[in-house]
A = this chain, B = another copy of it.
Amino acid sequence: MLKTIKVPSHITEEKLVSLYKEMWLIRYFDEKVDQFFAKGMIHGTTHLCVGQEPSAAGAIAALKDIDKITSTHRGHGHCISKGANVNGMMAELFGRVDGYCKGKGGSIHIADLEKGNLGANGIVGGGIPIAVGAALTSKMKKEGYVVLCFFGDGASNEGSFHESLNLASIWDLPVVFICENNQYGMSGSVKEMTRVENIADRAVSYGMPGKVVDGLDAIEIMNTVYDAVERARQGHGPTLIEAKTYRWKGHSKSDAKKYRTREEEEEWRKKDGIKRFRDLLIEEGIFTEEKAKQLQEEAKQEVEDAVKFAENSPQPSIESLLEDVYA
């Protein structure tokens, strides 16, 4: 039994420990990707979730294996937390055959259908109705799964957000909407781009519950998502959850970050959710500082291994170009 923290009943101490490592895996993965992009060794673009690890890891920890997610352009964290292996992810970023999409998708299109990750999406808001549809399948086929639908604050201004939440609500679908409000779209701050205090306030428009959580508190996120997911699983319909968070890096490959101050960045960095989680687990006596270090190192190593894996994976053949369009 945990002393000071409450967690969903299926969350064991081991799970919390692995969650800690998972957050480091996400961070190291994205840090590595950042380096490769900077060096021009990966092409295209990418969107890093460094700083946002708790909302990915914490939310997905609340799910069962059968549950599904839809992700976004900023999706590496969701992908890892939903069980993807970083080898396949890195290989995809390198555009290689062993990548999740055989090199055809790249960063913003990684999907891991086996693990229930229906995919990142290059279209802001594009995944929201897809999540609703996946939830409809669950309901119609009585499959018992819930869909956790990730999107950003910026996406909540898209029409697809509105239409999807309404549809999910009137059909009481097993879907939980989770807005990772990292304060900015690309450069547009949520304060300038909306006139609501919280994105979660928009739940009113769909007659569904709206909850605000601290996006850097993995435990709070986990509990809130868990309650919403179980509510949805029991047929009581969707919830809109907003996790207040921050992306440490620029929006994508090149971003001078003129739209925000270095002070603001510093303030948010201080609130590092991984460190906070570590302190909590130490306080709870779940692991020691050494163990924490070791896990962190392991995560780092996994990313290094992933790079090797990716580098060794072959380029797709030109013949493969025409494959996979039609089923």
Contacts and interface: CB of A to CB of B under 8 A. Distances in A.
Interface of A: 157-163, 166, 169-170, 192-196, 201-202, 204-208
Given A157-B166, A170-B195, A194-B206, 6 more contacts: A157-B162, A158-B162, A159-B160, A162-B163, A196-B207, A202-B204
Contacts of A166: 157, 193-195
A180 B171 CA distance: 24
A193 B167 CA distance: 8
13 contacts: A158-B163, A162-B163, A166-B193, A166-B194, A169-B194, A169-B195, A170-B192, A170-B195, A194-B206, A194-B207, A195-B208, A196-B206, A202-B204
B207 A205 contact: no
A204 B193 CA distance: 15
Contact of A205 (B170, B193, B196): B196
B204 A196 contact: yes
A201 B195 contact: no
Contact of A159 (B162, B192, B193, B202): B162
B207 A193 contact: no
A171 to B, nearest CB: 10
Chain copies in the assembly? Answer: 2
A198 to B, nearest CB: 11
A197 to B, nearest CB: 8
A170 B193 contact: yes
Contacts of A207: 194-196
Nearest to A202: B205
Give 9 nearest A-B pairs by CB, closest first. A159-B159, A195-B207, A162-B162, A202-B205, A169-B195, A204-B204, A205-B205, A159-B163, A157-B166
B205 A201 contact: yes
A201 B166 CA distance: 13
A195 B204 contact: no
A170 B157 CA distance: 11
A208 B192 CA distance: 15
Nearest to A191: B170
Which of A166, A170, A192, A207 has the most B CB atoms < 10 Å from its CB? Answer: A166
Contacts of A157: 162-163, 166
Contacts of A160: 159
Nearest to A125: B159
Contacts of A204: 196, 201-202, 204-205
A286 to B, nearest CB: 41
Given A158-B163, A159-B160, A195 B206 contact: yes
A192 B161 CA distance: 19
A188 to B, nearest CB: 10
